[in-house]
Amino acid sequence: MPKKNPEAGQGAAHTQQSQPEGASRRSNGRRLLFVDDESSIRLTLPVILTQRGFEVCVASTVEEALVIIQSEEFDVLLSDLNIGAEGNGFEVVREMRRLHPKCLNLLLTGFPAFESAVEAIRRGVDDYFVKPADIDVILNTIEKRLRAG
């Protein structure tokens, strides 16, 4: 039975299934980690993603995302670029690439800049979206890239 992780921080919901301690969550082909420090988007976007068939885990900080990445497998990372004062989405992408190299990595930003777009390319980000992003465009991009494998 799914449960909310009480340590998910600032109202973030981290959905997980009961499993033996130390066991890693296996991907079902539609596991997505969503990282954003804005509570309003953490409350809305995961609902839409779940309705579209994704199993969504949510993190509100870079530190929280890095802990989740250590213990679970994902097919998709959808992360804000500017995640509070302690870090950014590039740190989350780096760790996801290191531990789960086949994971699709997507960044969202409310502060687009040529420099951050170039940096995203250099760091192997698969796509870069500007907030407020069209959810259908994001979902179509994810579906297309997952099918392409």
Non-local CB neighbours of 52 within 8 Å, separated by 6+ positions: 139
What pTM, to 2 d.p., does this model score? 0.82
**Would you state the pLDDT for residue 28?**
63
Q: Kindly indicate whether the domain formed by 7-14+28-148 is annotated with CATH number 3.30.565.10.
A: no
| Residue-wise pLDDT tens digits, 105-140 | 999 999 999 999 999 999 999 999 999 999 999 999
Longest dimension (CA), the chain: 45
**Would you state the pLDDT for residue 29?**
77
Whether the pLDDT of residue 71 is over 50: the answer is yes
| Residue-wise pLDDT tens digits, 10-58 | 444 444 333 333 334 555 679 999 999 999 999 999 999 999 999 999 9
**Contact (Cβ atoms closer than 8 angstroms) between residue 95 and residue 66:** yes
Whether the pLDDT of residue 5 is over 50: the answer is no
Domain boundaries, the chain: 7-14+28-148
**Would you state the pLDDT for residue 17?**
35
Q: Which segments of 24-84 are extended strands (E)?
A: 31-35, 55-59, 76-80, 82-83
Task: In whole angstroms, give the CA distance from residue 91 to residue 118.
Answer: 16
CA end-to-end span of the chain: 30
Non-local CB neighbours of 60 within 8 Å, separated by 6+ positions: 8, 9, 10, 11, 12, 35, 36, 37, 39, 42
